[in-house]
Amino acid sequence: MTFRDHLEDVCRGVDGAVACSLMGVDGIEVDTHLASDAELDLKSLLVEYADVFRSARLAAATHQAGGVVEVSINSDKLVTVARLVSPDYFMVVALTPEGNYGKARYLLRIAAPKVRAEL
Amino acid sequence: MTFRDHLEDVCRGVDGAVACSLMGVDGIEVDTHLASDAELDLKSLLVEYADVFRSARLAAATHQAGGVVEVSINSDKLVTVARLVSPDYFMVVALTPEGNYGKARYLLRIAAPKVRAEL
């Protein structure tokens, strides 16, 4: 399976998913699967969320809370769950607020080691 | 009930909770209930996480994703769930990684309007 297959798998498995991406922690997108036409400029938003992920990581490391594994940002229009795949990459799934958040977290956890094995 | 009663209630209701705080989005703590002696400097960490919350809010607003309602940051040693209570304040519960994350989210959702009514 390629990266894209894993991204598609996550999107297919999560009710309300609009996109799944593999991104560098530096904000550079590796690959994205868009499940539907997103109303908003999802890719630009995810680049900014990568910055948020990086800030959380720095804060946790500075205060002895260990490595950041997962960051969720839930807004009025979009829920995102990002999970670290390797020290330099994370997967993120974006879904509607009515989507299945628990399933998104679960599938990311399952997919992360499979994607890591390909990096 | 005072702010502190609500913070205590959330801590009591969540297995693994170590602290619950009411904070300004500007990072200034209003009140904190510590459920147990935290190993790490939790208050300093939460101040930095407030900055993460603010960055997420700015990113979501800039890209038409609406207002940020909840941010979770899960690290190796600590899980935190922050929920907006009013435009200027949020509640945050910190728990061990083995703690009950779902219950933490649920109790914050229930407590938020009660705390908002007192602001």
ipTM given for this complex: 0.93
Mean pLDDT of A102-108: 97
Chain A residues touching residue B60 (CB < 8 angstroms): 45, 73, 75, 78
- Is residue A92 within 8 A of residue A105, CB to CB? The reply is no
Chain A residues touching residue B65 (CB < 8 angstroms): 40, 45, 75-78
For A100, residues 6+ apart whose C-beta sits below 8 A from its C-beta are A14, A15, A16
Rg (CA), chain B: 13
| pLDDT, chain A, mean | 92
Supply φ then ψ for residue B48, to 5 degrees: -70, -35
Mean pLDDT of B98-117: 95
Selecting from B69, B74, B76 the residue whose C-beta is nearest the C-beta of A75 gives B69
pLDDT digits (tens, 9 = 90+) for B75-84: 999 999 999 9
Chain B residues touching residue A45 (CB < 8 angstroms): 59-60, 63, 65
| Nearest Cα residue to A45 out of B58, B72, B71 | B58
The pLDDT value given to residue A38: 63
| Lowest-confidence region among A19-33, B38-52, B59-73, B92-106 | B38-52
Asked if the model's pLDDT at residue B37 lies above 90, the reply is no
> Hey, is the C-beta of A98 within 8 angstroms of any chain B C-beta?
no
Name residues 6-65 of chain B within 8 A of A (Cβ). 39-41, 44-45, 48-49, 51-52, 55-56, 59-60, 62-65
Rounded to a whole number, what is the distance in Å from the CA of A44 to chain B's nearest CA? 7
The pLDDT value given to residue A39: 65
SS3 A79: strand
pLDDT digits (tens, 9 = 90+) for A41-97: 888 999 999 999 999 999 999 999 999 999 999 999 999 999 999 999 999 999 999
| pLDDT, chain B, mean | 93
Mean pLDDT of A14-39: 88
- Calculate the alpha carbon distances from B85 to A6, B12, B44 in Å: 36, 20, 21
**Is the CB of B64 less than 8 angstroms away from the CB of A74?**
no
Residue A27 parent element (H or E): none
Handedness of CA A57, A60, A61, A65 (dihedral sign): negative
Region for residue B77 given its phi and psi (left: phi exceeds 0; alpha: psi -120 to 50; beta: otherwise): alpha
**Is the CB of B40 less than 8 angstroms away from the CB of A65?**
yes
- DSSP letters along chain B, please? --HHHHHHHHHHHSTTEEEEEEEETTS-EEEEEESS--SS-HHHHHHHHHHHHHHHHHHHHHTT---EEEEEEEESS-EEEEEEEETTEEEEEEE-TTS-HHHHHHHHHHHHHHHHTT-
